[in-house]
Structure formats: C-alpha cells, structure tokens
Amino acid sequence: MTSDVTTAAPSRTPDRPGYRFYVLAVLILIYMLNFLDRQIIGILAAPLKAEFNMSDKQFGLLGGIAFASVYSTLAIPLAWLADRFSRVWIMTGALAVWSGFTALCGMAGSFGQLFLCRMGVGVGEAGGVAPAYSLIADYFPPHQRARAMAAFAFGIPLGMAAGTLVGGLLAATYGWRTAFIVVGLLGVLIAPLLRLTVRDPKRGGMDAVRTEPQMTAPTPNMAVAPVGTDRTGKIAAQIMLGLGSGLLVLAAFARFTDMISASPLVLAFGGLLAAVIGVSLMIARRTASVVIPKPSFWLLALGAASSSVCGYGVAGWLPLFFMRSFDLTLKQTSWYYAGIALIGGLLGIWLGGMIADKLSKKGKGAYPLTPAIAFLISAPCFILAMNSPWLIGLVLPGGGSHAQQLILAFFIFLIPTGLNLAWLGPITAAVQHLAPAAMRSTASALFLLLNNLLGIAVGFYYFGWMSDLLAPRFGEESLRWAIYTGMGFYVLAAILLVGASRTLKRDWVD
C-alpha cells in the first residue's frame, strides 16, 4: 500500500485543474463543518441559557473564551507541524476531534462540562484552517489565490447557514442535545473522505520561479515524501487526540463538580492554556522573526481582529436578538437568519476576492483597502437593519406591518453580512505573501492567533457583557444597544487596513 500512495500522488498535482478544484471543494466542505460546529451555539442560545440558567455574560464566555483560548493558541504548533509534515493527516485528525467534541456537547450535564467540551471543539478546529490556507496556496497560482481563498471562505456562510437552520430546526423539534449530536457525528463520518482523496502538493510549486536561496522551501514535497514523514503526520493527529482525551477527563470531572469555578478546574484550564501558549511561542519563533517585524502583519492582523469582534460577536448574538427584539420563534429565527447568512455571506466573500484580485494589478494595497471600504459601509447598514420599523415609518404611517418590517430588515442585513466577510479572500491571500512558502501555515496561524483570540473571545464575550451592563436601563432591548456600541470596531478595522495598504508592497514576498 505504501508504494501505491507514493506513486499515485504525483499524478494528482496542481497542474490538473479538475483535481485542483476537487480539492478546493473538499476543503470548502471541511470549512463548512468547521463553522457549523463553531457557530451552532448561537442558534441554541435560548435553550442553553434556560437549561443552565446562564446570564448573557456567561453565555459570552461559553461562546468565546472556551473555544477561542485553545483554538487560537494551539493553531500555532499544529501549523508548525503542517509546514513540515502531512497537512492532510493533521486536518483529518482535527476534523475528527472537533466533530467528536461537538457531539459530546449534547451530553453535557453542567455549565462546566459544556465549557470544557467547547474547549475540545477548539482543540480540533485549531488544526483545520492554517493547513488549508497552505494547501490552497500550493494548488493555485498567485494571480488566482485571492479568489481561491474567497471560494474556500464560502465555508463560513455555508456553515453558519447550515448550523443555524439545521441546529435550530433539530433543537426546536427534538431538543438542543440532538442538534449537537447529529452535526457532530456528521463530521466524524466525513473525515475519511479528506484523508483518502486529498494529497499534499509540492510546497511553493505554484509560486514564481525564484533564485534567492532564502526563498527556497526547505521542506520536502509531501507528494513524494518518504513513508516516515507521513507517519509523523499520523503522530501529529494522535497528539490532537491525546489533548482531546485530556479534556474529556476534565469534562468528566466537571460532571460531578457542576461548577466551572471550582479550583481544580480553574487551575487545570489555566495550566493547559499557559502550556499551549508557551509551546506555541517557542515553536513559532522562526516564522515570527520573519513576519513580526513587518508593519503589514500587525496592521492586517489587528485590522481583521477588530472587524472579527463584530463579525463573530454579532453573528453569535443575532439569533437571540431576533427572538427578543423581532419576536421570532426558534424555528422562524432558524430560517430567517440562515437565509441572511447564506445569501449575504456568499455574495460578500466572492465579490471581495474577485475585486481585490482585479485591483491588485494596480497595486498590492488593494488587498486591504477593499475590505476597509466594506467595513465603513457595514456599520450604518447594521444599525438601519435593526431599526426597520423606524425606517418604514418614514414612508408608511405606523411603521408598516410586522411582515413588512422583517422583509425590509432581511434585505438590509444582506449588505453588512456580505461586506463584513469581504475581507477573507483579500487579507488571507495577502498574509500568504508575508513569508516564504515553507512558512505559510505558521504565518497564517500567527495571523489567526491575533484575529481569533481577539475576534472570537473578545467579540462573543463583549456583546454579552455589554448586554448585561445595559439591561437595568434597556431591559430586553439591552442586546440591541450592545450591538450598537460594537459598531465602532468596524471603524477601527478600516483605519488599520488603510494603514496596511500603504505598507504591504514593501513587505510582500513573491
């Protein structure tokens, strides 16, 4: 069997467009499952809060720091391994781990146990994105990468829509536990498809020909790598399974303590997080020495992170907002928000990549400048969509019917939903060009560390914390006002990305 793998792989190269696009389709499917499992918690907010008697702030911790803490930090050592060993093996193990823990969320008997299961989802998903970015960069030439990255990012709206619709309908019919279990088992069943049909291409094989020694990728071509390298990839997958097993033990302990604040759990969580951060920084020091001195890296990462505070935060809280402020049921919210996420997200991601690819012919600065403009448009559109009764009232006395208000809000929500995802193709493509090909997975992981640790952890928690803070004054409408305050992060993101547009050409690596 070893010889079959070694000899068959070279025929499946980026030179064959059909196979190249097949690989992209599989990666989009995996990314869709990534976001489905990540975001399903948003549509389940109401039943989860009722089950475990959580405040908005506690739910913000569950949706934010529980996932983002390990997802962001563990991504660096896993990306480091992906730059050296089998990216496909690492992604396969990652998919199995995060899907398994999503299913286990449906068996949680306490807030503490659910918290730790969400950490387990983060452990798995840490190995799912940066290696995929690197694979895409090695399957598509530079002039197509922004569009390929944008197509890969289709997994976000597809996953959000599927998680919202399938999760919401399952929860409304069979309960929230069934929703977690069904979507989790789906990912476990699909994991073998990735491992058996996708191969690692030559690293940097689609880049321009270079003569500088420092730009030559020192890592072997995984398509013809010796068996020992593939075995190391298996070990990397087993490391993730081991970390997942450790969290399972903690989750079992939480089952009996029934308190996330119990001292043993706090110490275990803090110790695990500190260890992962320490190992991550040690492993990434070589790539960090290349990208951290570049102003473009910080401007791109912090700009994306500022937008993600709203992107992830608003996406996680909008289902509960629709139920509180638009008087929708769980089933109605599932259909309503799934439509917004799917239509708006697909349009925004594709247009962002396509426009940036076209504008990049006039200068590299177009990559960050395109999403900067998009963010400045997104903020007022979100506010207008949330106030559709007032908007209709400018034309129709009394603000129109409830149905008219929902229809108007739906179409306005499509605009910021699309625009706030337009950064994914241009920015992730630009980050790929801040480091040589052999460092791309780790460079992406460093970028994702800042983006996700701030975007997911801060974003999800911020809106819940602000909602609780404003509740004494605004009551059920406190979440609306919390979202209003978060729109300032879009303005900050635009400022940072405009700055990146002025430095990117100097920091670019072909």
Residues 272-283: pLDDT tens digits? 666 666 666 676
- At residue 218, the pLDDT reads 40
For residue 126, give the amino acid letter. Answer: A
Tell me the C-alpha distance between 388 and 409, whole Å.
5
For the segment 469-493, what is each residue's pLDDT rounded down to a tens digit?
999 999 889 999 999 999 999 999 9
Q: How many angstroms separate the Cα of 239 from the Cα of each of 150, 176, 234, 396? A: 30, 30, 9, 61
Q: How confident is the model at residue 266 (pLDDT cuts 50, 70, 90)?
A: low
Q: How confident is the model at residue 6 (pLDDT cuts 50, 70, 90)?
A: very low
Whether 323 has a pLDDT exceeding 90, the answer reads yes
- At residue 267, the pLDDT reads 55
Residue whose tokens read 């008697």:
53
- At residue 250, the pLDDT reads 46
What average pLDDT does the segment 158-181 reach? Answer: 92
Which of the pair, 365 or 225, is modelled with greater confidence? 365
Contact yes or no for 119/70 (Cβ under 8 A): yes
- At residue 279, the pLDDT reads 64
Length of the chain: 510
Whether 22 has a pLDDT exceeding 50, the answer reads yes
What average pLDDT does the segment 427-451 reach? Answer: 82
Contact yes or no for 371/426 (Cβ under 8 A): yes
| Percent of the chain scoring above 70 in pLDDT | 80
Contact yes or no for 321/128 (Cβ under 8 A): no
What average pLDDT does the segment 403-411 reach? Answer: 92
Q: How confident is the model at residue 172 (pLDDT cuts 50, 70, 90)?
A: very high
Whether 154 has a pLDDT exceeding 70, the answer reads yes
Which of the pair, 442 or 41, is modelled with greater confidence? 41
For residue 320, give the amino acid letter. Answer: L
- At residue 227, the pLDDT reads 35
Terminus-to-terminus CA distance in the chain, angstroms?
37
Could you say which DSSP state residue 206 is in? T
Whether 151 has a pLDDT exceeding 90, the answer reads no
* Average pLDDT value over all residues in the chain: 80
What average pLDDT does the segment 387-403 reach? Answer: 83
Q: How confident is the model at residue 29 (pLDDT cuts 50, 70, 90)?
A: very high
Which of the pair, 217 or 447, is modelled with greater confidence? 447
Q: How confident is the model at residue 269 (pLDDT cuts 50, 70, 90)?
A: low
- Look up residue 173 and give its two tokens: 């019919």
Displacement of CA 79 from its chain's centroid (Å): 15
Q: Is 248 helix (H, G, I), strand (E, B) or coil?
A: helix
- At residue 356, the pLDDT reads 67
For the segment 299-321, what is each residue's pLDDT rounded down to a tens digit?
999 999 999 998 888 888 999 99
What average pLDDT does the segment 447-454 reach? Answer: 82
The segment with the largest mean pLDDT, out of 44-58, 196-210, 246-260, 430-444, is 44-58
Tell me the C-alpha distance between 422 and 417, whole Å.
9
Whether 259 has a pLDDT exceeding 80, the answer reads no
The segment with the largest mean pLDDT, out of 13-22, 202-211, 449-458, 480-489, is 480-489
Contact yes or no for 157/346 (Cβ under 8 A): yes
What average pLDDT does the segment 334-345 reach? Answer: 92
Least confident of 230-239, 356-365, 381-390: 230-239
- At residue 270, the pLDDT reads 59
Which of the pair, 390 or 322, is modelled with greater confidence? 322
Specify the DSSP element, H or E, that contains 404: helix 402-419
- At residue 329, the pLDDT reads 93
| Percent of the chain scoring above 90 in pLDDT | 33
- At residue 261, the pLDDT reads 44
Q: How confident is the model at residue 73 (pLDDT cuts 50, 70, 90)?
A: confident
- At residue 105, the pLDDT reads 94
Give residues with Cβ within 8 angstroms of 253, minimum separation 6. Answer: 264, 265
- At residue 223, the pLDDT reads 37
What average pLDDT does the segment 240-250 reach? Answer: 47
- At residue 402, the pLDDT reads 87
